[in-house]
Structure 1
Amino acid sequence: MNKLVITVMAFCSLLACKEQPGKKEKQQEEQSKPVPVSDDVLETAVIYEANIRQYSEEGSFNAFARDIPKLKELGVKIIWLMPVYPISSTKSKGSLGSYYAITDYTKVNPEFGSMEDFRHLVKTAHDNDMYVILDWVANHTGWDHIWIKEHPEYYTQDKDGTIIDPLNPETGESWDWTDVADLNYDNQEMRQEMIRDMRYWIEEEGVDGYRCDVAHQVPVDFWEDAAAALREIKPVFMLAEAEQPELLENAFDMQYAWEGHHIMNEIAQGKKDVKAWDDYMAKNNTLLESDDIFMNFTSNHDENSWNGTVFERMGGAAETFAAMTYAIPGMPLIYSGQEYDMDKRLLFFEKDTIRKEKGKFYPLYEKLGKLKNNNKALHGGKNAAAYQRLATSEDAKVLAFCREKEGDTLLFIANLTDKPVRFTVEAKGVFKDYETGEEHAVNPGTGFDFQPWEYLILTSE
């Protein structure tokens, strides 16, 4: 009898041991799932645009994933991956083609690695408390997409029934995006197929949202339907490549600050002064709701490749405007290579590589990222810190403003000209230089002498 009991106990113990790893794996899997993206995350987030092809010599998911912990040092909370899908070869541009000429919305470009490699990248980001959003191209596909043959009715056609590339709606002429075919949003079946493909990456691959290419060229009601379908699965983050307030009503969380970016370029080039910025901020107060979010940037893939590097466009003002993208309401963007002082236009249709050598900007972004992550005065999401313009004795040359929330106060003061300027600011208090830790007592009569493009970020004690 005792032997039987012992045998049964031993068998049960063995069975328990066999079952335990499965339970443990399940627990580990549950623990590795990230907390869904939330409004609180958006308040303090920095977003990073990852150009996988050009980010490394290998141009692979795995090479980028190895550097994700470095992005955490920069305060990055959202990683935007430029399109990761297979690229069409028909009518392609260059030897490698455009990321935005897609042949299949639910596969990955073998140039970058396998689906397992992609999953490793997503897991690495999540393990580092970051979110991953994919670049979604809903306006058009590549000419090798299966829909071209099986569903030509999904595409815009001319009077002869020939599928066409996208046209400029204002002129009716081609944008010269000849490597892609324009999708027809009058076709409801195509809309549903598109939403199913978008759901795939959220449900099956664990991504956290989308940056949506030329979102203003796609009907608003499609985006609203798509966003609602995605949010049935989990909270997602949606970024529109557009500056169209109605997109923010029900579909998107954030839009590009295109106008603000162009004003920064023009001030840096001496074509406009600080009044243009003040007018822009005043206009936003009348056009936008308090929970609308802007993505602020000095560069991105389009600007870098087609309009010039940040140093070509902004010259000596590049650092000042980089700091300003963190200080103003919204979310700052770092484009691949900016953290390494990249001063070259990356090729778009060919292989190129970013040189990863730390210079001035890596420690700058590191400090700005820490400030953005931790100081409530820089909250820039749906419950953003207040923005108050501070009068100066040289308002056409000097931009000074105060941000404040829940007891945290930050002053940003900058000479936005290429000449020295002496001025006073209508502010009072004792502040600390975020960069040096030096204490500054500021009063309305306090004189400042700033060199060209000099700026100061002061925080309350």
Structure 2
Amino acid sequence: MKRVMGLILVPFLLFSAWFVQPVKAEKEEHAWQDEIIYFIMIDRFNNGDTSNDYDVDRDDPKAYHGGDFRGIIDKLDYIKDMGFTALWLTPIVQNEEKGYHGYWTEDFYNVEEHFGTLEEFKELVEEAHKRDMKIIVDLVVNHTGYQHAWLEEKDKEDWFHPNKDIRDWNDQEQVENGWIFGLPDLNQENPEVRSYLLDMAKWWIEETNIDGYRLDTVKHVPKDFWTEFSQEMKTVKEDFFLIGEVWNDDPRYVAGYQETGIDSFVDFPLYNELTRVFSAPNQSLSRLDTVWAHNQNFYDNPYVLGTFLDNHDVERFTRAAIKKKQYPPARLKLALAYMYTTPGIPIIYYGTEIALDGGADPDNRRDMNFRADKEIIDYISKLAELRKNMPSLTHGTIEMLYEEGGMAIIKREYEEETTIIAINNTTGTQVAPIEMELLGDDLELRGTLSDELVRNSDGHYMIGLDRESAEIYTVKEDSGINVPFVGAMVLIYGGFVAFIVAAVVRRKKHND
């Protein structure tokens, strides 16, 4: 019997020894670039409390649909299970009629009754924090709603800029003082207005313990206001995060707002290229590398830029793929693989995980569906797990080793960790020969999304991928062990040994 047990233990010890990985040291310090953000339009996400469904009409794309704080609380575990560590919520303040999106402020100090109560919002923050998730709230200080009470108060006439359209978008004065979409433009140069907005923004932090603001329409507000704003928010909470929306395709223009103290910006130039490259096959990834080169040149810390595929202001990525007669999940998975493995903070718009379709506003704000296929959800969850456990994906250097017609190989390095990302953005199987000198000798690349193993072959690492697929490889010294083969042998050997053991037991019972 001892001999039988020995036969059983040897292969299992060999197999398990291969998978014993050294415990990674904890990251030196927490950084916002380690976060993964899930962006929710509150009204369109989940209706958890029907008692606040005032004038709800789900057939009207410009009316309230019933989403609320309770609905988000009910789905926190769903969000966390996908690996998200922070939530960005559209504005929570009281809005005027049909302001379901939150950007038509009626009262800066009250929560929107359709979403719930202040106490329920505090509960949402508390429940998120229990799950080690942060809350970022969208904040609008550029304008009010169309019918704001201040417009009728004579002593507040100078609280607004004169009612003028923006005719020249290259004229910064018009950009900052004009009324976008006819919304009353606040005059931040007025000391009373400035004080009001600063006090209000600090009050929400103190009252609810939120962790950050997504700053709406940053380029429409003077830089000196943002400088004071940034300083004041940090006095309330030192690590409070500020991510700004500077909607412009020129990274130099966006980066110009760094001087205000805003920590991060949503990366519109990268968004443009992500959509172009991944919404259809056979597009080169080299332009993405060019965007990164620009970001390195223009930003103090490009690793905290917010990367995204779609949001509430642009058509959904799924629609872009459909327009090009593509299968959206396949296209989405490639784009997500790139986003999760390259520098920046991934921001995923609710519904992207189910390939939710949507054209221009308001079609891009459809109601969430929690009964959809889980293909992309599972993929996102795996990417998040890898991003969490591999510091090179959030802190590492990045180098594109190879790009040929849509097949790209990217190397990321951080301290002792090297990771290889392979993306085949073509409609055919591709093989990329990576010269040994670019990686090193006697190494093996092991796939984390599959069991693929790549070793040095005649001075090259031949990385092959099926059409429209991606792989993330860990890089280790060559062990000489083929884990899939060993695993198969363990199963065969184990089954054989189990048969012998069963036979011995039966014989013993027969003899007894």
Tell me, yes or no, whether TM beats 0.5.
yes
How far off its partner does 1:98 sit?
Answer: 4.1
State the one-letter code of the partner of 1:128: R
Task: Provide the residue aligned with 2:59 in structure 1.
Answer: none
In 1, Cα distance between the equivalents of 2:447 and 2:298?
34
2:285 to 274, 277, 282: 274
In 1, Cα distance between the equivalents of 2:41 and 2:168?
27
Look up the SS of the partner of 1:329 in the other structure: coil
State the one-letter code of the partner of 2:292: M
Contact in 2 for aligned 1:346/1:352 (Cα 8 Å): no
In 1, Cα distance between the equivalents of 2:469 and 2:290?
22
In 1, Cα distance between the equivalents of 2:323 and 2:213?
28
In 2, Cα distance between the equivalents of 1:201 and 1:432?
47
Answer yes or no: is 1:153 the counterpart of 2:143: no
Moved more, 427-436 or 126-135: 427-436
Pair 1:125–1:98, CA change in 2 (3 A): closer
2:354 to 340, 364, 369: 340
Task: Provide the residue aligned with 1:326 in structure 2.
Answer: 340
In 2, Cα distance between the equivalents of 1:313 and 1:460?
38
In 2, Cα distance between the equivalents of 1:296 and 1:386?
17
In 2, Cα distance between the equivalents of 1:445 and 1:414?
18
In 2, Cα distance between the equivalents of 1:363 and 1:67?
16
Percent identity, aligned pairs only?
Answer: 23
Please list the CA deviations of residues 145-169 of structure 1 after superposition, one character each: whole Å capped at 9, or x if unmatched: 3332331212110xxxxx3466653
**Which residues of structure 1 form unaligned runs of 5+?**
1-37, 90-94, 158-162
Contact in 1 for aligned 2:270/2:291 (Cα 8 Å): yes
In 1, Cα distance between the equivalents of 2:274 and 2:259?
27
Contact in 2 for aligned 1:87/1:102 (Cα 8 Å): yes
Task: Provide the residue aligned with 2:137 in structure 1.
Answer: 134
In 2, Cα distance between the equivalents of 1:225 and 1:149?
29
2:393 to 375, 378, 382: 378
State the one-letter code of the partner of 1:320: L
Task: Provide the residue aligned with 1:111 in structure 2.
Answer: 114
State the one-letter code of the partner of 1:395: E
Structure number with higher helix proportion: 2
1:6-405 matched pairs, under 5 angstroms: 40-57=30-47, 58-89=66-97, 95=98, 98-150=101-153, 151-157=156-162, 163-164=163-164, 169-170=169-170, 177-178=180-181, 180-234=183-237, 235-242=239-246, 244-268=254-278, 269=280, 273-290=284-301, 293-304=304-315, 309=319, 311-312=321-322, 315=326, 316-345=330-359, 348=362, 352-356=366-370, 357-379=372-394, 384-390=395-401, 392=402, 394-405=403-414
Contact in 1 for aligned 2:141/2:216 (Cα 8 Å): yes
In 2, Cα distance between the equivalents of 1:181 and 1:200?
23
In 1, Cα distance between the equivalents of 2:375 and 2:319?
16
1:419-430 matched pairs, under 5 angstroms: 419-426=428-435, 427-428=439-440, 429-430=443-444
Look up the SS of the partner of 1:353 in the other structure: coil
Contact in 2 for aligned 1:168/1:175 (Cα 8 Å): no
How far off its partner does 1:71 sit?
Answer: 1.6
Please list the CA deviations of residues 337-360 of structure 1 after superposition, one character each: whole Å capped at 9, or x if unmatched: 122332345963998421112421
Task: Provide the residue aligned with 2:500 in structure 1.
Answer: none
Please, what is the CA RMSD of the aligned residues?
A: 2.9
Moved more, 181-190 or 445-454: 445-454
State the one-letter code of the partner of 2:93: Y
In 2, Cα distance between the equivalents of 1:432 and 1:272?
26
State the one-letter code of the partner of 1:447: M
Look up the SS of the partner of 2:109 in the other structure: coil
Contact in 2 for aligned 1:166/1:181 (Cα 8 Å): no
How far off its partner does 1:46 sit?
Answer: 0.3
Contact in 2 for aligned 1:265/1:313 (Cα 8 Å): no
Look up the SS of the partner of 1:138 in the other structure: coil
Moved more, 115-124 or 348-357: 348-357
Contact in 1 for aligned 2:214/2:243 (Cα 8 Å): yes
In 1, Cα distance between the equivalents of 2:362 and 2:351?
14
Please list the CA deviations of residues 172-210 of structure 1 after superposition, one character each: whole Å capped at 9, or x if unmatched: 699995352122233232122111111011111111110
TM-score (normalised: structure 2): 0.73
Please list the CA deviations of residues 251-294 of structure 1 after superposition, one character each: whole Å capped at 9, or x if unmatched: 22221121111112222346963332232222222222246521
Task: Provide the residue aligned with 1:11 in structure 2.
Answer: none
Please list the CA deviations of residues 294-328 of structure 1 after superposition, one character each: whole Å capped at 9, or x if unmatched: 111112122246x8646436844221011110111
State the one-letter code of the partner of 1:142: G
How far off its partner does 1:375 sit?
Answer: 1.2
Pair 1:141–1:164, CA change in 2 (3 A): farther
State the one-letter code of the partner of 2:41: N
How far off its partner does 1:385 sit?
Answer: 1.5
Pair 1:152–1:200, CA change in 2 (3 A): same
State the one-letter code of the partner of 2:241: F
State the one-letter code of the partner of 1:80: W
Pair 1:397–1:339, CA change in 2 (3 A): closer
In 2, Cα distance between the equivalents of 1:138 and 1:221?
14
**Which residues of structure 2 form unaligned runs of 5+?**
1-27, 48-65, 477-512
Answer yes or no: is 1:460 the counterpart of 2:475: yes
Please list the CA deviations of residues 15-42 of structure 1 after superposition, one character each: whole Å capped at 9, or x if unmatched: xxxxxxxxxxxxxxxxxxxxxxx96141
Please list the CA deviations of residues 102-143 of structure 1 after superposition, one character each: whole Å capped at 9, or x if unmatched: 112221111111111111111111111111111011221112
Contact in 2 for aligned 1:166/1:180 (Cα 8 Å): no
In 1, Cα distance between the equivalents of 2:360 and 2:133?
26
Rg larger in 1 or in 2? Answer: 2
Pair 1:287–1:345, CA change in 2 (3 A): same
In 2, Cα distance between the equivalents of 1:292 and 1:448?
27
How far off its partner does 1:332 sit?
Answer: 0.8
State the one-letter code of the partner of 1:42: W
Contact in 1 for aligned 2:34/2:388 (Cα 8 Å): yes
Contact in 1 for aligned 2:178/2:185 (Cα 8 Å): no
